[in-house]
Amino acid sequence: MTYWGVSAMSHDAALAVYQNDKIVYASHGERYSRIKNDQNLHAEQISEALQYGRPERVFFYENTTKKKTRQARSGQYRLLFKESPSTYMKKLGVDVPVTMFDHHYSHAAYGYYSSGLYQETCDVLVIDSIGEFETISVWRGRHGKLHKAWSQDYPHSVGLWYSAMTQRLGLKPQEHEYILMGMAALGDPGRFYQTIRDDFFECLPGHNNPEVRFRENLHRGCLWWRRDLVNVQDYVDIAAAVQKIYEEIFVGILSWMSKITESDQVAIVGGCALNCVANTLAYNFYERVWIPPNPGDAGSSIGAIMAALEKPVVVHDAYLGTEINGEYPFQDVLQDLEGRGISAVASGPAEFGPRALGHRSILADPRLLGIKDQVNKIKQREEFRPFAPMILREHAARYFHLPRTDFDAPYMQYAIPCISPQLYPGITHIDGTSRVQTVDRCHGNVRTLLERWYERTGCPMLLNTSLNIKGEPLVNTREDAERWSVVHGLAVRTAK
């Protein structure tokens, strides 16, 4: 039995293939078109998926009929004439029945059924810009079934507000929110905290009420807000205040959720679940926190399949995309790291998700002074932006203040305070935190690479960043890797 899960026609198009009780393939449209957050699937991607046979049915990640009702209400009239998912798939040569699921249900299903908590109780928090109407929803998973406990509707959307503020800072909304999050550590949150609260919010969530209400509909951004604030210091202070308020909202909802349920486990999904600084705060309310590797809309391609089957589906790891066949180039990478202190690798199946987890990565020795500047220069990124470390899981507690002893972050979803930030400036942000990836057996070759690096140097950690430059999607194929080597002057070690 083969099913496809599809997320497309809006942003972050993705395609997942389910066969024999497991996800055998999943990939992002952007990796084929080389357009960041591309909304379309591509012929090459479809033909890769067809290698597993024709699907019997396609599960679509949102209900476009409901969505059009909301678009009509918000005045997005042109979008009402957009084709249906069924017509869209037919144009791609896949003429099979298409079933649609609600946007937040697809998210929630992905969070719950991938959490490994199928038989237990687990709360699910979905928080993003907009689904059809929903912007935040809280679900309870019990005995394998999901029930919606509470939701909040458009136009009151935390995700939209965060994106609007991103745009207000001169960044690209729905793409550069992570830059705002990084900028926040440089600013003084107190300077604009009260102003932003007063100007935008009617009420914020708390222990007794999860509701967030805005004074304005921010669907068209908020470029009108405080046009007098134009210098860099203003911008970083705004970013700091925005992040602080977002964390307060996040904590308020979790506090309410943990009060009304007896569960000590939570899954967090939706685009806002990529806010790794806030995510760590969930450990103050729950014993176990699960964030799947691709919590945004692209991950809902898997979520739609899980929503349809209403059961857990085996997703072995996040390496589900285009394969670069051959042996992982351990020797070449280690030689580069010991020589120049920096290496690039493209080997095995590509990561399905926004983070490079060692199959399409630039790796560097985190102990070297100036390594951050060197990598930032290659990647053409802003100087202030930090890099993430990947570390052997059993060594993580020696280097980081983990929120729990059994803490695990296989997909880089939490910002954790570093014990000695001065020793590893390349992987520590200005606030002394790092977005850690703990490397375990599930990481396969990446684990072996890190073990060999540890044997040679006594350091269980490597700087790990995505193999791309700013504004570009991750390298996907062997040809992409070769092109990247030539253009950016750093040899990419590919599978042999």
Contact residues for another protein, defined by CB under 8 A: 10-11, 71, 74-76, 79, 129-130, 160, 163-164, 167, 173-174, 218-221, 223-224
Could you tell me the smallest distance in angstroms from the CB atom of residue 79 to another protein? 6
Nearer to another protein, 130 or 363 (CB): 130
Q: How far is CA 440 from the centre of its chain?
A: 20
Give the CA dihedral 320, 34, 239, 219, nearest 10 degrees.
-100
Tell me the HSE value of 12 on the side-chain side, using a 13 A CA sphere: 17
Could you tell me the smallest distance in angstroms from the CB atom of residue 74 to another protein? 7
The first and second tokens of residue 329, run together, are: 């180039």
End-to-end CA distance of the chain: 33
In the 8-state DSSP scheme, what is residue 283? G
Nearer to another protein, 163 or 258 (CB): 163
The first and second tokens of residue 168, run together, are: 């207000």
Nearer to another protein, 81 or 224 (CB): 224
Could you tell me the smallest distance in angstroms from the CB atom of residue 186 to another protein? 24
Three-state DSSP class for residue 170: coil
Could you tell me the smallest distance in angstroms from the CB atom of residue 224 to another protein? 8
Concatenated DSSP letters for 367-409? TSTTHHHHHHHHHT--TT---EEEEEGGGHHHHB--SSTT---
Neighbour-count burial for 106-120, b at 16+ CB within 10 Å, e otherwise: bbbbbbbbbbebeee
Could you tell me the smallest distance in angstroms from the CB atom of residue 302 to another protein? 21
Q: Cβ distance 321 to 42 under 8 Å?
A: no
| Crossing angle between the packed helical segments 103-113 and 300-309, to the nearest 10 degrees | 80
Q: Kindly report the number of other CB atoms within 10 A of residue 58's CB atom.
A: 24
Could you tell me the smallest distance in angstroms from the CB atom of residue 313 to another protein? 27
Containing H/E element for 181?
helix 177-184
Q: Cβ distance 481 to 375 under 8 Å?
A: no
Q: Cβ distance 322 to 382 under 8 Å?
A: no
Nearer to another protein, 74 or 477 (CB): 74
Could you tell me the smallest distance in angstroms from the CB atom of residue 307 to another protein? 21
Could you tell me the smallest distance in angstroms from the CB atom of residue 163 to another protein? 5
The first and second tokens of residue 115, run together, are: 């959490």
Could you tell me the smallest distance in angstroms from the CB atom of residue 167 to another protein? 6
The position carrying tokens 């004074």 is 215
Nearer to another protein, 76 or 84 (CB): 76
Three-state DSSP class for residue 197: helix
Could you tell me the smallest distance in angstroms from the CB atom of residue 220 to another protein? 4
Spatial distance between the Cα atoms of 156 and 131, rounded to a whole number of angstroms? 12
CA-based nearest residue to 299, from 167, 140, 104, 143? 104
Q: Cβ distance 455 to 381 under 8 Å?
A: no
Pairing of strands 22-28, 14-19: antiparallel
Q: Dihedrals φ, ψ of 494, to 5°?
A: -105, 165
Could you tell me the smallest distance in angstroms from the CB atom of residue 171 to another protein? 11
Nearer to another protein, 35 or 368 (CB): 35
Nearer to another protein, 130 or 239 (CB): 130
Nearer to another protein, 203 or 223 (CB): 223
| Crossing angle between the packed helical segments 232-260 and 158-168, to the nearest 10 degrees | 170
Nearer to another protein, 11 or 429 (CB): 11
Nearer to another protein, 10 or 243 (CB): 10
Nearer to another protein, 295 or 386 (CB): 295
Could you tell me the smallest distance in angstroms from the CB atom of residue 168 to another protein? 11
Could you tell me the smallest distance in angstroms from the CB atom of residue 282 to another protein? 25
Give yes or no for a cis peptide into 155 (omega within 30° of 0): yes
The position carrying tokens 């929903």 is 134
Q: Dihedrals φ, ψ of 90, to 5°?
A: -60, -40
Nearer to another protein, 162 or 193 (CB): 162
Nearer to another protein, 103 or 288 (CB): 103
